[in-house]
């Protein structure tokens, strides 16, 4: 494996203090970034600085602490706007994460969708992009239809085209599969859905840390993601939407920041983005999120993406060469150049949890289970699998340690 020498990867990795710890007698080898990424020191510092010096609510008081907090808070909104190329600040809504963002859209469309309307959902979607649509369908009498997958767990594009002929009112897709790391042809799929007049929502939780996202080019109605998947804190996420698409949403939460006037005769709601941001927000988390964006923007993106892709290919190759390994989300069980971030696999017929426990005993952190994608697991005819996922801090030594540990696991179990 060769990696680019155009940047100092060790210097980048050194900014993540958690990676220097020992787990018993073993140094931590963190290969679970798809679940949650680790945080650079500047993210931790930004959150601490807010609580130390500027702890006040935003948009409400006239004193200096509140003014500083509000300025910083809205500066982060500007950062997000630039990061995803949103046309305006009004279209960037702070939420507590991807799950809340999708729920806000599903709840908000209760007055838009009606009986017998069809909602198409990615058959490999995370549960957070399935269950809210089921709840909406139950309320209004609509129908959720899964987009079929092929044998490799990828969306069957022919089946998708056929389902669009049913004139769905909404299409919910994943930009990147959280379980398999497969990248959907999202631009083409959104364009096809828009051509028949469907609303479109894209779950970008697994994409934003690995791909450049331009919501104007993508042209979806809603794009959602979480800070903790892109080196920011937990508890903060984004709902982006086109202005018309956001304005059609009935607010899921009411009170506090989202009002314009209140009386016992009636209440009027404020304008975007306030209308969809009720209550005291996760202010410290927003500050940390802003620091994460600053951190990402400071790095050489092209070199990092090359590094990550080379590392992922190396991971796939080494697992394949280990033997008795089944890779999922790739054609014929071989290495794929169409995946990012994650490799899903199983060792022979061994239980995925047994594999992950034995790896953990060697300081290797991976994910095992159904990855909040039970329908996908059913399509692949498995109960679950292991997933090793990388981040911008991952290096060849991580992969070599993981493969060495997997060899030990194989010798124990087989």
Angle at 222 between CA 312 and CA 83, to 5 degrees: 55
DSSP 60-114: S--SHHHHHHHHHHHHHHHHHHHHHT-S-GGGEEEES-HHHHHHHHHHHTTTT--
Helix (H, G, I), strand (E, B) or coil at 22: strand
How far, in Å, CA of 195 to CA of 120, rounded?
A: 15
Concatenated DSSP letters of 156-205 = -HHHHHHHHTT--SEEEEESB-TTT-BBP-HHHHHHHHHHTT-EEEEE-T
**What six digits make up the tokens of 4?**
């680019």
Tokens 């085209």 found at: 161
Residues 220, 372, 385, 386: which is the catalytic one? Answer: 372
Q: Compute the distance between CA of residue 377 and CA of residue 369 in angstroms, rounded to an integer.
A: 9
Q: In the annotation, is 385 catalytic?
A: no
Q: In this structure, what are the phi and psi dihedrals at residue 351, rounded to the nearest 5 degrees?
A: -70, 135
> How many Cβ atoms from other residues are within 10 Å of residue 85's Cβ?
14
Distance CA(74)–CA(54), nearest Å, equals: 14
- Residues marked as catalytic: 372
């Amino acid at each position: 494996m060769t990696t680019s020498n155009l940047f100092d990867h060790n210097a980048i990795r050194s900014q993540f203090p958690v990676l220097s710890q020992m787990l018993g007698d073993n140094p931590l080898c963190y290969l679970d970034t798809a679940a949650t990424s680790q945080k650079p020191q500047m993210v931790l510092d930004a959150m601490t600085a807010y609580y130390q010096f500027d702890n006040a609510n935003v948009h409400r008081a006239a004193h200096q602490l509140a003014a500083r907090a509000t300025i910083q808070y809205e500066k982060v909104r500007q950062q997000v706007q630039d990061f995803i190329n949103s046309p305006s600040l009004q279209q960037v809504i702070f939420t507590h994460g991807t799950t809340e963002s999708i729920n806000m859209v599903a709840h908000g469309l209760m007055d838009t969708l009606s009986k017998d309307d069809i909602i198409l959902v990615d058959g490999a979607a995370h549960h957070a992009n399935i269950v809210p649509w089921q709840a909406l369908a139950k309320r209004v009498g609509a129908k959720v239809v899964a987009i079929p997958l092929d044998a490799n767990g990828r969306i069957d594009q022919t089946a998708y085209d056929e389902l669009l002929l049913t004139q769905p009112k909404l299409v919910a897709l994943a930009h990147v599969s959280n379980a398999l790391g497969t990248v959907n042809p999202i631009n083409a799929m959104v364009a096809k859905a828009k051509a028949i007049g469907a609303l479109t929502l894209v779950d970008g939780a697994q994409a934003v840390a690995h791909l450049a996202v331009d919501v104007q080019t993508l042209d979806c109605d809603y794009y959602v993601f979480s800070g903790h998947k892109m080196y920011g804190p937990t508890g903060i996420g984004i709902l982006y939407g086109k202005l018309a698409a956001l304005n059609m949403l009935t607010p899921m939460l009411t009170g506090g920041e989202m009002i314009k006037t209140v009386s016992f005769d009636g209440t009027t709601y404020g304008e975007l983005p306030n209308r969809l941001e009720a209550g005291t927000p996760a202010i410290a988390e927003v500050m940390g999120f802003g620091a994460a964006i600053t951190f990402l923007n400071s790095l050489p993106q092209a070199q990092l993406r090359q590094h990550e892709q080379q590392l992922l290919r190396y991971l796939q190759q080494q697992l394949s060469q280990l033997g008795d390994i089944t890779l999922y989300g790739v054609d014929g069980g071989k290495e794929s150049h169409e995946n990012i971030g994650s490799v899903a696999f199983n060792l022979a017929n061994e239980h995925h949890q047994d594999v992950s426990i034995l790896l953990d005993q060697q300081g290797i952190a991976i994910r095992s289970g159904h990855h909040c994608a039970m329908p996908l697991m059913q399509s692949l005819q498995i109960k679950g699998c292991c997933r090793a996922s990388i981040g911008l801090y991952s290096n060849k030594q991580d992969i070599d340690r993981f493969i060495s540990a997997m060899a030990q696991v194989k010798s124990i179990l087989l």
